[in-house]
Chain A
Amino acid sequence: MSTPSSAGAGASGQRIVVTGLGVTAPGGIGTERYWKALLTGENGIGELSRFDASHYPSRLAGQIDDFEASDHLPGRLLPQTDVSTRYALVAADWALADAGVGPDAGFEDYDLGVVTSTAQGGFDFTHREFHKLWSQGPQYVSVYESFAWFYAVNTGQISIRNTMRGPSAALVGEQAGGLDAIGHACRTVRRGTRLVLTGGVDSALDPWGYASQLAGGLVSTVADPERAYLPFDAEASGHVPGEGGAVLIVENADSARERGVERIYGEIAGYAATFDPAPGSGRPPALGRAAELALAQAGLTPADVSVVFADGAGVPDLDRAEAEAISRLFGPHGVPVTAPKALTGRLCAGGGPTDLVAALLALRDQVIPATGRTARVPDAYRLDLVTGQPREAALSTALVLARGRHGFNSAVVLTTHRP
């Protein structure tokens, strides 16, 4: 049995540390503002105000309401960026500043990679341009539509803005994609890139993007923002879509120490992804397997885990399946579980990375944020769900889970950093 201090080294013997964070999430932009909102239980979910949603069956969203793009980004970038890319660029700026990565940090362009995930692309931008296409003609469509919608656009724009020319990628795996990006970023560091900016950001709260999310059939139609998204509650009725996400800076631990980083939030000790068997196959879903594989990569066992950040779909069948996976792995009521995304809505590719930020801050502050408004957890779930108030606890290792629609499962194991 290995200790957390040697965790995650894997065959390469390398440790991966997180040295910078940037968050744009409902309830608060900026890492500390977001964290405070989680701990105080401030609800980022409210009436959708981005457009007139009065005729939609659902009218709630986790909206970012305190973000003015021109306060953060040069005018030259605005005509060519979707709202999701603006969030990503600003979160990236904050994460890089947090990690002390600037022109004087001693990096070459090729030392720095970018790996991000977005599952929805530039819906708002595309909706606008398609409207021009239908109503005015193709000559009215912006040339920037050629990339502003695209899944790789956040990776590309962050890379260009910050002259990060190292190995870069974009991953898509619905709500699991953000953790997949982080897993791939760790691989990229293990292969020799000193530092990789990673994470996920999504936004699709325009009429078209919102309609497409509703079409998935998992969005709650409860009108009360305090009751619409209740992961693991007996009254769970679906989720509320949200926007935003988080960006993290991951580095080789030795390289980070050499450059004299001020702060290490924690280590990414393990990552794994699995895919569910086809519906009707009779075989069980593979979320628990992803958790086992991530723990194995970390060289840890379930007994080492001090808190689980669950996917928390907020749909009874999915909640039950996740609860079964957790209670099978950790034993009934065997580990504290939380789903702080209950206060932001599900951020799609932004969900996993934002949970990872919450988990790192939980390790830092030794406190577990509560699961939004969830109050009554069915006994059959056998979960020790943190509800109502944050819970102080001795935390050294966190497991973060994410599921994407149609079968994606991803798991990340975080540990506190012991030099």
Chain B
Amino acid sequence: MARLTLDALRTILVACAGEDDSADLSGDILDITFEDLGYDSLALMESAARIEREFGVTLDDDDVNEALTPRLLLDLVNGSEVRAA
């Protein structure tokens, strides 16, 4: 099962929810909150749905809402492979 990388997450965020002109996604964003990056809970739901489809995982909505940063979301997705299997 492919792991979700930060680069892939960046691509998915932009594809699903667009880019915020005021936030720069290109740098080290692992520990910046999604809120500060300009992505609200709907944007995360949309991105999570894409991740589920592309990575064959199942994500709980509550868990996604608690993943406040890219690092936490990556951990959630990459850790959930085991559960999804």
Contact = CB atoms under 8 A, between A and B. Distances in A.
A110 interface: no
Contacts of A144: 42, 46
Given A75-B19, A80-B17, A144-B46, A139 B53 contact: yes
Central interface residue in B15, B17, B19, B38, by most chain A CB within 10 Å: B17
Contacts of A75: 14, 18-21
B29 interface: no
B18 A77 contact: yes
Nearest to A147: B42
B20 A79 contact: no
B18 A79 contact: yes
Interface of A is mostly: helix
A142 B46 CA distance: 6
Nearest to B47: A143
Contacts of A76: 17-21, 38, 43
The size class of the interface chain B forms with chain A is 10 to 19
B17 to A, nearest CB: 6
A143 B53 contact: no
B42 A143 contact: yes
B6 interface: no
Contacts of A140: 49, 53
Interface in A50-71: none
B68 interface: no
Contact of A79 (B16, B38, B52): B16
Nearest to B45: A143
Contacts of A139: 49, 52-53
A74 interface: yes
A223 interface: no
A78 interface: yes
Interface of B: 14-21, 38, 42-43, 45-46, 49, 52-53
30 contacts: A74-B18, A74-B19, A74-B21, A75-B18, A75-B20, A75-B21, A76-B19, A76-B20, A76-B21, A76-B38, A76-B43, A77-B18, A78-B18, A79-B15, A79-B16, A79-B17, A79-B18, A79-B46, A80-B17, A80-B18, A80-B42, A139-B49, A139-B52, A139-B53, A140-B49, A142-B46, A143-B45, A144-B42, A144-B46, A146-B42
